[in-house]
Amino acid sequence: MVTEVGQGVSWTGYEFRRARMVERLRQMGITRTEVLSAMSAVPRHVFVEEALRSHAYDDMSLPLGLGQTISQPYTVAVMTQLLFARRAINPNLRILEIGTGCGYQTAVLQALGLREIYSIERLRPLHERAKQNLRAVRLLAHARLVCGDGYLGLPQEAPFDCIILTAAPKEVPLPLLQQLSIGGRMVLPLDEGGVQFLWVIDKTAEGYQETCVQQTLFVPLVNDK
């Protein structure tokens, strides 16, 4: 359970709003108990701009600056639920996140009890902000944050059991497919001619199984190369 104290400031005034958010997620089809518990444990308002904290638990994305956003709570919850839809949430699963942003999705993954999380962010200011946010909620211990090109992944740390992208490429990055373990799953948005859809890709010994889930909206994934 996450202690709601960061840098000497009490966050208890947000508990009711977060409880309402979790109930709304339940009504919207988030059924995995562990995911709902993680969403309940992480104080989302810590990860948004101070001027926007009154909207932290509304179901909307919010700007972070630098052309980036924090995804709406439903998007974070549904992607997390999809990531583990076919398996138990084992603490030893190896997770790769592309697009750390402010660190909120990273925090939710840690709140699930996962102990091997790698997260890549290409923008140095956001990379540093995510570290600060995760320290504030005491959820940095098992997250290894990297500033770099997420399109390339982390081949030196592969394979990964789960890969999640929080930015939309125009095609599935081949390096990330190669870094997914047999039996692993990738959840990502894809930009298909200006319209984005959420996809699930399962890697089997025979190849890949791809499933289109729903329309979505993310910032683009930029390839530094």
Q: Which residues are part of the catalytic machinery?
A: 71
pTM of the model: 0.91
Is 173 a domain residue?
yes
Task: Tell me if 126 is assigned to some domain.
Answer: yes
50 or 224, greater pLDDT: 50
Backbone phi and psi for residue 11, each to the nearest 5 degrees, phi listed first: -110, 20
* Domain-located, residue 3: no
Nearest CA among 215, 154, 208 for reference residue 190: 215
Rounded CA-CA distance 66/153 in Å is 22
User: What average pLDDT does the segment 74-95 reach?
Assistant: 95
Domain membership of residue 138 (yes or no) is yes
**Count of structural domains within the chain:** 1
3-state helix vs strand vs coil in the chain, percent to 5: 35, 30, 35
Q: Are 48 and 60 in contact (CB under 8 A)?
A: no
pLDDT-derived band at 225, boundaries 50, 70, 90: low
Element (H, E) at 38: helix 33-41
Q: Is residue 37 a part of any domain in this protein?
A: no
Q: Does residue 225 lie within any of the structural domains?
A: no
Cβ atoms of 99 and 165 within 8 Å: the answer is yes
Q: Is residue 111 exposed (0-12), middle (13-18) or buried (19+ Cβ within 10 Å)?
A: buried
Q: What angle do CA 134, 135, 138 make, to 5 degrees?
A: 85
- Residues 111 and 135 sit within 8 Å (Cβ to Cβ): no
**Of the candidates 68, 13, 75, 8, the residue with the CA atom closest to the CA atom of residue 43:** 13
What tens digit of pLDDT does each residue of 154-210 get? 999 999 999 999 999 999 999 999 999 999 999 999 999 889 999 999 999 999 999
The two tokens of residue 107 are: 């925090």
Q: What is the domain-level CATH number for residue 106?
A: 3.40.50.150
Peptide bond into 173 cis (omega under 30): no
Domain around 207 = 74-216
- Residue 58 included in any domain: no
Give the pLDDT band (50/70/90) at residue 112: very high
Asked if residue 149 is part of any domain, the answer here is yes
**Residue-level pLDDT at 12:** 56
Overall average pLDDT of the 7-18 stretch: 67
